[in-house]
Amino acid sequence: MLRVTVLVSGGGTNLQAIIDSVNNGTIKNTKLVGVISNNAGAYALERAKKADIPAFVISPKDYESREIFNDALLAKVKELDTDLVVLAGFLVRIPEKMVHEYSHRIINIHPSLIPSFCGVGYYGLKVHEAALAKGVKVSGATVHFVDEGMDTGEIIFQKAVEVKEDDTPETLQRRIMEEAEWKLLPAAINKIALNS
């Protein structure tokens, strides 16, 4: 049974897709053992509580230094006996120590076709604003392993999504979430769970 801890910062629609996929059997051999957010107000925490998943707030703001935060985050992940860490809209940099201790055991969902529109400063709506500004006709989402870089790890899955003439960053974000993110992240977890 793959023990999965999900790290979140916002609304948690990707977390909800994972919860629903475990419940309906799309994701097999998996137990969601914890949800950790840096943001106490994240609606993702409500989704976790409704699904009876242990939920924790671990925020850099609550620690004297970033290093002490990093240690607290890693300690909680270990305390949960985590096999796989899933970043589902988590906006805090993963500590290098955690990347090394969980090498090939941390995955991230990014709302573009990496290597386009990724790296420092590309998150949330900013990704879609850049894609529209560039005038791309296709965008999408990428699930990848997390390494020391930002959105640079080995790609697991990608899915292309059409960009429409009248798209706004919001409409494009929603379509990529519905048609790509909410499918790719569960599929990646299931692939890892079946190979674990």
Catalogue the E-assigned strands of 23-163. 30-37, 55-57, 84-87, 106-110, 138-145, 155-162
Compute the least distance from the CB of residue 34 to ligand GRF, in Å: 16
Q: Is 14 in the site for ligand GRF (CB under 6 A)?
A: yes
* Residue with smaller CB distance to ligand GRF, 47 or 105: 47
* Residue with smaller CB distance to ligand GRF, 71 or 159: 159
**Residue with token string 């230094």:** 65
Instruction: Give the footprint of ligand GRF on residues 140-179 (CB under 6 A).
Output: 173, 177
Strand-by-strand arrangement of the 84-87 sheet? 55-57, 30-37, 2-8, 84-87, 106-110, 138-145, 155-162
Q: Is 11 in the site for ligand GRF (CB under 6 A)?
A: yes
Q: Is 21 in the site for ligand GRF (CB under 6 A)?
A: no
* Residue with smaller CB distance to ligand GRF, 15 or 193: 15
Q: Is 111 in the site for ligand GRF (CB under 6 A)?
A: yes
Pairwise CA distance, residues 65 & 194, whole Å: 38
100 is catalytic: no
CA distances from 125 to 161, 168, 177 (A): 16, 10, 12
Answer whether 179's CB lies under 8 Å from 138's CB. Answer: no
Going residue by residue from 33 to 72, which x/- string records binding to ligand GRF, judged by CB under 6 A?
A: -----------x----------------------------
**Residue with token string 């993702």:** 44
Scanning 3-11, 60-68, 97-105, 150-158 for contacts with ligand GRF by CB under 6 A, the matching segment is 3-11
* Strand bridging mode 155-162 / 84-87: unpaired
CA angle 131, 135, 140 (to 5 degrees): 40
Scanning 13-21, 62-70, 97-105, 187-195 for contacts with ligand GRF by CB under 6 A, the matching segment is 13-21
Can you give the binding site for ligand GRF, defined by CB under 6 A?
8, 10-15, 44, 88-89, 109, 111, 124, 173, 177, 181
Active site residues: 110
